[in-house]
Amino acid sequence: MGGNKDGTGSSRASKGVLKLKKKRMWHSWQAYQDLAYDEIWKPIIDVEWDYYITTWKAEHGDAPLTINHFTFMNAFMKARYEEDNELKERIEEHRQKINKPPPAEVNASYQQLVFLVWPNPSNS
């Protein structure tokens, strides 16, 4: 097996997974959630969620909930996004900014690619 530790017979072990797939662009409502959740909506969502659970238990007893907190929060945020026309421009700017990879991330991806193409530059 040639002295390697990865068990493949290869002379070099894997350095990890190279991310080749591009990050998906956030939906506008997701950028809105990122901007407004903590400052504006979290306390309101928590109260609404508690009310939902109380109402559910009153109507359905111990039957399991049909949605979880995460689903409830996303539906709430989507609805608020549709109603909030004042922030649409700021949301789009935030959405574009979020999806640009920082220079360090671009450089790290480049370095991983260089290693795959030229694994040991000092031996050339």
Q: How buried is residue 112: exposed, middle or buried, by Cβ count under 10 Å (0-12/13-18/19+)?
A: middle
Q: How far apart are CA 45 and CA 80, in angstroms?
A: 11
* Number of folded domains that form the chain: 1
Answer yes or no: is 104 within a domain.
no
Answer yes or no: is 69 within a domain.
yes
Answer yes or no: is 65 within a domain.
yes
Answer yes or no: is 76 within a domain.
yes
Indicate if the pLDDT at residue 31 is higher than 80: yes
Q: How far apart are CA 122 and CA 118, in angstroms?
A: 10
- What lies within 8 Å, CB to CB, of 74 at 6+ separation is 33
Expressed as residue numbers, the domain containing 50 is 28-98
pTM metric for this prediction: 0.59
Answer yes or no: is 22 within a domain.
no
pLDDT digits (tens, 9 = 90+) for 37-51: 998 899 999 999 999
Q: Please give the mean pLDDT across all residues of the chain.
A: 78
CA neighbor of 20 nearest in space, from 116, 118, 120, 113: 113
Answer yes or no: is 106 within a domain.
no
